Chains A and B, each alone.
Chain A
């Protein structure tokens, strides 16, 4: 018997469909307004620039165009939709244009390097060295193996040195909270301001010129000086994000502080610490100045980081740019492109890690 059951919700059909309001919607007409204003201001700018004003040059033209555009857009929207909407839309468009203007140089750099580097990049780049490249060789014949091995070894050793040190320092700053927290923090901050050339000079004076000679290890030491503050500061921020409740919960069970840090705090911050490592690597992988005085550079493959000059992607790129040969300059772009791709991959991995942490 279903007739006697609870009343069902009947669909009311005799009422008209309510009119929906979407205060923030953007219609075809609005898009047309934007396009129309852009065209009108372009024409006005052209008129002012070529006929009236005594200026020349692209930056001024773009600036004037943007200014005219905002003015015309404001007036046009005000006429059709009122003052409040006009102000909102104009501010939104100003912010959008500024945001785009900031991204443009980045895209230009990426695009230019890709364009120049990709033209001469061949698969052999990853398996041959520069030793087989003669003065008459075409630009497509470029060997990068020695530089890739060098970069991987130098950055790898720098990581092995500075990641544990950075994590320990962050633990000191955030967990141990000893007497010299303030000096340590100031010192780490100051260290992040050390110019990379100074780090290179330091290792050169202390190690290389003292008889140790050029080596990948010397380069790794210079790089770890630069990497340490980045890793430390990032780790510190990550550790600070671990809720105090977890520390207290662990200590309240009778755990010593070192076990609390090792067993609770660090595992909780695991992905963040991984991000810190990747950011540290990305910070130094493109460094060139300190390598000039430590790794020195090489055309041949040297897999031993502890003796003899070693190449690196950034260093090879720099040295090839200085050549008088056109082919060498073109090769420099290939190295630059590979390096840029490497940094990009590292940052994407770091960002993905960070997002997984949040979810």
Chain B
């Protein structure tokens, strides 16, 4: 591990411990529109939790509540509690920036910073968070290594991040998120813009990453959820009511023996 910083966010507990994320009766609104109602979900440490469900059921909103990105939307509000190893991330003594540093996020569309090189992108998080490192080359190699990209780009570290292929860009974004050493990584449909080969590489990367961090992934790809996740939460929404969780369970149960008929219909592709 590359030591990069002195953490000052004691309110969130030990920054290197395996992190369990918990949501308790979470609601979300955009203006007066109630989009998410009563989500209670445990996301255990060192496991992959997949959020599945049809479009518009609030999976992405829920994901963004988990690292306080939801509040960046004007008019957005929420209720309920999220805890990281038992510490409330919406507590009055907790800064949103500290939460986001510990709970990183990878987006649907690869979004490397175009004004920076490959290496610059990896180090950008440290720079943007005002964190110092005495071994930047080591951080770059370590993070790219963890994201499964090092061998492909080790001779192109000075090229702009946008010069890589789509799949490489997405792994670069993962490496960038890892540089600030988050305990949790949230992934919002990270493979939906990628081809099957790149998707496979990202899944392998996730498989390696989950040994050290907790992963929560939103995906529309049922096979992907079945392949990679340990636990699954099936979200659904009915016309005129907020989205909610229909069923939570080990992935195998959700896919082979779900208790709710709607889950069975969805995972077998009968709707959604």
Contacts and interface: CB of A to CB of B under 8 A. Distances in A.
Interface in B3-42: none
A245 B97 contact: no
Interface in B150-195: 173, 176-177, 179-180
B125 A255 contact: yes
B97 A255 contact: yes
A259 B69 contact: no
Contact of B177 (A245, A251, A252): A252
Contact of A249 (B99, B102, B115, B173): B173
A259 B101 CA distance: 14
A133 interface: no
B107 interface: yes
Q: Which of A177, A250, A267 has the most CB of B within 10 A?
A: A250
B111 A267 contact: no
A252 B114 contact: no
A251 B124 CA distance: 11
Chain A contact-residue range equals 20 to 34
Contact of B115 (A256, A260, A270): A270
A259 B128 contact: yes
Contacts of B115: 264, 267-268, 270
Nearest to B72: A251
Contacts of B173: 249
Q: Which of A243, A251, A256, A267 has the most CB of B within 10 A?
A: A251
B79 interface: no
A252 B69 contact: yes
A252 B100 contact: yes
A355 interface: no
Chain B contact-residue range equals 20 to 34
A253 B116 CA distance: 16
Contacts of B97: 254-256
Nearest to A247: B72
Nearest to A253: B125
Nearest to B112: A249
Interface string A214-243: 000000000000000000000000000001
B180 A249 contact: no
Contacts of B227: none
B72 A254 contact: no
B129 A252 contact: no
Given A249-B113, A259-B130, A254 B101 contact: yes
B101 A253 contact: yes
B10 to A, nearest CB: 16
B105 interface: yes
A251 B115 CA distance: 17
B69 A264 contact: no
Contact of B105 (A177, A252, A256, A267): A252
B104 A253 contact: yes
A248 interface: yes
Contacts of B176: 249, 253
Contacts of A195: none
Given A248-B107, A252-B177, A263-B127, 6 more contacts: A177-B74, A248-B105, A252-B67, A252-B105, A254-B102, A264-B113
- Listed from nearest, the 10 A-B pairs whose CB atoms lie closest are A254-B101, A255-B128, A245-B111, A252-B105, A253-B125, A267-B115, A254-B100, A254-B97, A268-B115, A249-B111
